[in-house]
Amino acid sequence: MKSYERILLIARAGGGASPAMRQAMWLAHRSGAALHVLLPLHSMALDVVDRLRQAGSGTVRDGLLREHRDALRTALSGYAELQVATTVEVIWTDVPGEEIRTHVIESHSDLVVKDVELPHGLRRILTTPLDRELLRSCPVPVLLVHSGRMTPRRIVVAVDVMAPDAAAQTMRQALALAYAADAELHLAYAALPMSALDASGAVVPSMTAEIYETLCQVHQDRFKSFADAHGIAPARRHFRIGPTASAIVDCAETLHADAIVLGSNDRHRFERLLLGSTAEALIGEASCDLLVVTAEARHHDTTPRRDLTVDAP
């Protein structure tokens, strides 16, 4: 069984190779997957120009689509030695998120790969509407490629062990990426027991030392149980106390990780993690790739065939 059967690369305009293209080609090569390259384009100005042209004549839009299609094919030809089955599609649309979702569903894609457009940290991508849409609702995991490395060698999967079902589903997606890349997989969890929530979700500021220690122990026990259940070697377990985003980024940087796999329990909690101003700024400090597993994507089955969670003998 392959980790991935079909990978969808969202290309960026301008043609030429990009970090995401290199990553997608290499993952497709490693896993034996087919790669479909999709480039959504749109310009309101060109729509107006084409409407003003004579009916039946070639449109500026057609020429632009052809130009980008040829550029992508030329860029892909540079990876011919990888022998990946590739197809290219350039479409004209003002709703790229909907088109990507449709392509994912109709093509039964297992993974979406996309470049981080701006170079100064993961937090910057959240200013892009398409990226926000994919992070919230893509039906399969989205690999946001931030680095120029060909393939990840060390991966950190960050899970919420207090939601074990969701954590297990995120772990499966992390295993799929690790299997395809033949990468080392580490498990990280950040507990923040110093604040409790009441029934309405409001923060309860006061907490005794005894309660604090008890909550810490509960988190540690859950983390150990989860790691044991998934065969994670002790050397690859990383338990932290503190805010989730900063703790996970610190762990990834300490390990010199090439990618972070991040899941969510629900949209609201996920958005608080990624879109909150403090967490967003901290995540922006990460220099590695990010595999985002939405609530819908967690249920996508990409279970690998062999165990990548234990240290080699």
Q: Which residue is listed with tokens 């954590």? A: 167
From the candidate CATH numbers 3.40.50.620, 3.40.30.10, 3.40.50.11890, 1.10.10.10, the one assigned to the domain spanning 145-313: 3.40.50.620
pLDDT tens by residue, 251-310 = 999 999 999 998 755 445 555 554 443 334 434 566 788 898 887 776 555 544 334 344
Q: Who wins on pLDDT, 196 or 205? A: 205
pLDDT of residue 293: 86
Q: What is the mean pLDDT of residues 190-194?
A: 76
pLDDT tens by residue, 285-296 = 667 888 988 877
Say if CB 279 and CB 287 are below 8 A apart: no
pTM to 2 decimal places: 0.83
Q: Name the nearest CA neighbour of 96 among 12, 188, 190.
A: 12
Examine domains 1-115 and 145-313 and report if their fold is the same.
yes
Domain 1-115 = CATH 1.10.10.350: no
Instruction: Please tell me the distance from the alpha carbon of residue 107 to that of residue 297, in angstroms, as a whole number.
Output: 15
Instruction: Please tell me the distance from the alpha carbon of residue 18 to that of residue 192, in angstroms, as a whole number.
Output: 38
Say if CB 42 and CB 93 are below 8 A apart: yes
Tokens of 274: 């990624």
Residue 17 DSSP class? -
- Show me where the domains of the chain are located: 1-115, 145-313
What is the chain's Cα-based Rg? 21
Note the helical H segments in the chain.
19-31, 44-52, 60-77, 96-107, 122-125, 129-137, 164-181, 209-229, 244-255, 267-275, 277-283
pLDDT tens by residue, 19-32 = 999 999 999 999 99
